[in-house]
Amino acid sequence: MDFEFSPKAAELRQRLVEFMDERIIPAEAIYRQQMEASGDPHFHPPVIEELKAEARTRGLWNLFLPHATEWTEGLSNLDYAPLAEILGRSPLASEALNCAAPDTGNMEILTMFGTPEQQDRWLVPLLEGEIRSCFAMTEPAVASSDATNIECSIRRDGDEYVINGRKWWISGAASSRCKVAIVMGKTDPDAPTHSQQSMVLVPMDAPGLVIERALPVFGYQDREGHCELSFNDVRVPVTNLLGTEGGGFAMAQARLGPGRIHHCMRTLGAAERALELMCRRVVEREAFGKPLASQV
């Protein structure tokens, strides 16, 4: 089996490693200072925007899109995987390259299933890094690892859909830069099991959409927030439907495929960095007259 990087992946990898060493890793201390000074766990620190601008000039932008589209030439999952591993080494990197979840999956389904109007309104600003988005599928009341269980109702009423339901763990929703949610619910509870679900685009400022709280993860608040949301008679035009009615389950699966690989590769990168830090620590730190690594 050939484990070599393709020439394209090798070249991008080299440029990404340089960007990480020269800009991303040194920016971590600035990021911490800016977050602490703000006193707001969901603050958007200015250093992120500086890193984004620089990533663009270095041609390290929107690399996650696997298919050639009018917006990018596309990079295969195989070529992107080693880049995601490097991105995982710093919590700042994915956002700096506009390669952060949940926007990546959302942008991907908007390229695949969005209408030209939906793409103009939501996809283009997401690709430009001007706004962020969230994906609202999981619900507190049901086992949501199987999305056929979800109960959120998306009922058609004339030229509108009316959405009622409760979601939680919705990553990104606490950010003031999050402007749109892709919401999964049931348009037809009587259809065959995997054709009951649909996805609609819901602006975050839609009347009736309430951010109830941001849930802590292991006691910590993530900057983007993992929120509980309630939808109380939220109305959107039927033109906000993504793809077809009943096509939501299949789209969710399509969205999760590359996302799983991205998460796994980033996690490997985070683990590698943690291990490296530990290895360095045990030779630098002395106890009882010698480095920790020399203790027997």
Ligand X SMILES: Cc1cc2nc3c(=O)[nH]c(=O)nc-3n(C[C@H](O)[C@H](O)[C@H](O)COP(=O)(O)OP(=O)(O)OC[C@H]3O[C@@H](n4cnc5c(N)ncnc54)[C@H](O)[C@@H]3O)c2cc1C
* 251: Cα separation from own chain's centroid: 16
Strand partners, 182: 135, 201
- 45, 38 contact by CB (below 8 A): yes
Amino acid at site 80: Y
* CA separation for the pair 109, 124 (Å, rounded): 13
44 vs 255, beta carbon nearer ligand X: 255
19 vs 168, beta carbon nearer ligand X: 168
Minimum Å gap between C-beta 258 and ligand X is 15
**Residues present in the chain in total:** 296
Minimum Å gap between C-beta 190 and ligand X is 22
Minimum Å gap between C-beta 136 and ligand X is 6
Please report, as ranges, the residues that interact with ligand X according to CB under 6 A.
Answer: 102, 134-138, 143-146, 169-171, 217, 226
Strands 178-186 and 132-136: parallel
22 vs 146, beta carbon nearer ligand X: 146
In sequence order, what DSSP letters do the residues of 204-222 get, joined into one string?
Answer: TT-TTEEEEEEEPBTTB--
Strand partners, 220: 217
Minimum Å gap between C-beta 74 and ligand X is 24
- 238, 187 contact by CB (below 8 A): no
142 vs 292, beta carbon nearer ligand X: 142
Minimum Å gap between C-beta 41 and ligand X is 14
12 vs 187, beta carbon nearer ligand X: 187
